[in-house]
Amino acid sequence: MTERPLPRILVYEFISAAGAGVQLSTGASTGGHGVPPDDGDAGEPLLLQGIAMRDAIAADLLAAGRYRVCVADSAAAPFPLPAAAASPEGRDTAHERPVRHGAACPPRSSDAARAPSARSAAPGCATLRAMPDETPAAFLARVSPGFDRVWVVAPETDGILAGLCRAVGPARWAGCDAGAIALCGSKTATRMRLAAHGIAVPDGWQPGEARPHPDGAWIVKPDDGAGAQDTRRHAGFDAARAAFTAHAASGRPFALERWVDGEPLSLSLLCGSRGAELLCINRQRIRLGADGKLGYHGVDVGIEAPGGARGRVLGELAHAVHAAVPGLAGFVGIDLVWTSGGQPVVIEINPRPTCAYVGLSARIGRNLAAGILASDTRSAAAAQPSGGNAAGAFPCPDGWTSR
């Protein structure tokens, strides 16, 4: 009997795969609401956040032992390939012991002239890099046919995540569908959709509307921004509207929302056809600079049990958001502010893994990546491994040949 090949999974984190070619600011996921003041807004570099998420997802997939994993990396952010899939005693150590890259594996002759080598240090694990000057979308369009699932982590800014979703195509895409990504890529559209479903969101303002009352602090941020990128709090509406108008002149859409005081939280969800499971409740460490700018300083994962009193409220919120936004799938983040009155106010939805993913499998006691892929039943590709090197696919490392 012929042994069935293991599904081939590509992990692609946008910033670490593109390396020095990416120019994005630091940012916070909550869009800046409900945060304490701080002396600065420096925050954590997005590259470090990206590397941490990439490595965590890959480690989970390797630890599952049910996939052949390839990680897209770059010279600026090399992926530490494991020395072996398992220790001599048979204990899975792929997630424990990062080592240097293995020797380069020569590409197949048909691809040698147009593709860089995939590198492999152990059967079932490899890395892959884009060609010089190859765009992320072109890279994914070229290599995706060689994989059964492509797991992309990327910001919604400038339509990046949506564009990469189109490049991969729905048959191999792991995660939220194109419609959910498009909606969540707009802070304004998300706010309006959730409000229409009776979910609490910040008050917003758009040109042509009356001046809101009462006055108070407002926040201006890119409508498609990655967290607190270019996000600033203003003490009053008039100052916020002036900043909003100035940004609008640049041609990039911005959102103007009333500031919400409270505790900045994020929810980590596992979404599927049966609803949304609240995996953990997190606190985001966000600081407000003296000039009103925001900075992200990490996340405290699992600050309280989802089964507690507040967790039950937030679990109901997760189900409501999932019902309001069809197409949410896999790992999804909800950023919110818990007000002093005990009300959760949703700031935005992240239709992709967030920083809270890092270390979450160990915290909840199960392999989250394997669970996410197992819950994805939208196409037959997940259950039917490609088994071969499709036209235009990446050159297979040793041990990845079809059987």
Q: Is 183 exposed, middle or buried (0-12, 13-18, 19+ CB in 10 A)?
A: buried
Q: Is residue 114 part of a domain?
A: yes
The verdict on residue 101 lying in a domain is yes
Predicted confidence band of residue 251 (pLDDT cuts 50, 70, 90):
confident
Question: What pLDDT shows up at residue 119?
Answer: 59
Q: Which two tokens stand for residue 145?
A: 């046919």
Task: Report the pLDDT value the prediction gives residue 20, as an integer from 0 to 100.
Answer: 54
For residue 238, the model assigns a pLDDT of 96
The Cα–Cα gap between 298 and 285 comes to 5
**Domain assignment of residue 92, yes or no:** yes
Mean of the pLDDT values across residues 190-209? 97
Residue 88: predicted pLDDT: 30
Rounded Cα gap, residues 145 and 124, in angstroms? 17
Average predicted confidence (pLDDT) for the chain: 81
- What's the confidence (pLDDT) of residue 85? 37
Whether 362 shows a pLDDT value over 80: the answer reads yes
**Residue 27, C-beta contacts closer than 8 angstroms, at least 6 positions apart:** 43, 46, 225, 226, 227, 228, 229, 231, 294, 296
Q: What is the pLDDT of residue 1?
A: 56
127 in any annotated domain: yes
Residue 14 belongs to domain spanning? 8-30+42-174+377-382
In this structure, is residue 75 part of a structural domain?
yes
Which whole number is the average pLDDT over 197-223? 94
- Cβ neighbors of 281 (< 8 A, separation 6 or more) are 265, 267, 302, 303, 304, 306, 310, 311, 314
Comparison of pLDDT for 160 and 40, the residue scoring more: 160
- pLDDT over threshold 50, residue 148: yes
Tally of domains in the chain: 1
Confidence tier at 378 by pLDDT (50, 70, 90): low
Q: Please compute the mean of the pLDDT values over residues 95-112 and round it to a whole number.
A: 30
Q: What is the mean pLDDT of residues 214-237?
A: 88
pLDDT in tens, 38-86: 444 444 678 898 999 999 999 999 999 999 999 999 999 999 865 543 3
Query: Is residue 140, in this structure, part of any structural domain at all?
Result: yes
Q: What is the pLDDT of residue 169?
A: 97
End-to-end Cα spacing for the chain: 11
pLDDT of residue 256: 96
Residue 234 lies in a domain: no
Q: 169 and 144 in contact (C-beta within 8 Å)?
A: yes
Q: Write out the two tokens for 335.
A: 């950023």
84 part of a folded domain: yes
| pTM exceeding 0.85 | no
pLDDT over threshold 50, residue 171 = yes
Least confident of 33-42, 275-284, 316-325, 368-377: 33-42
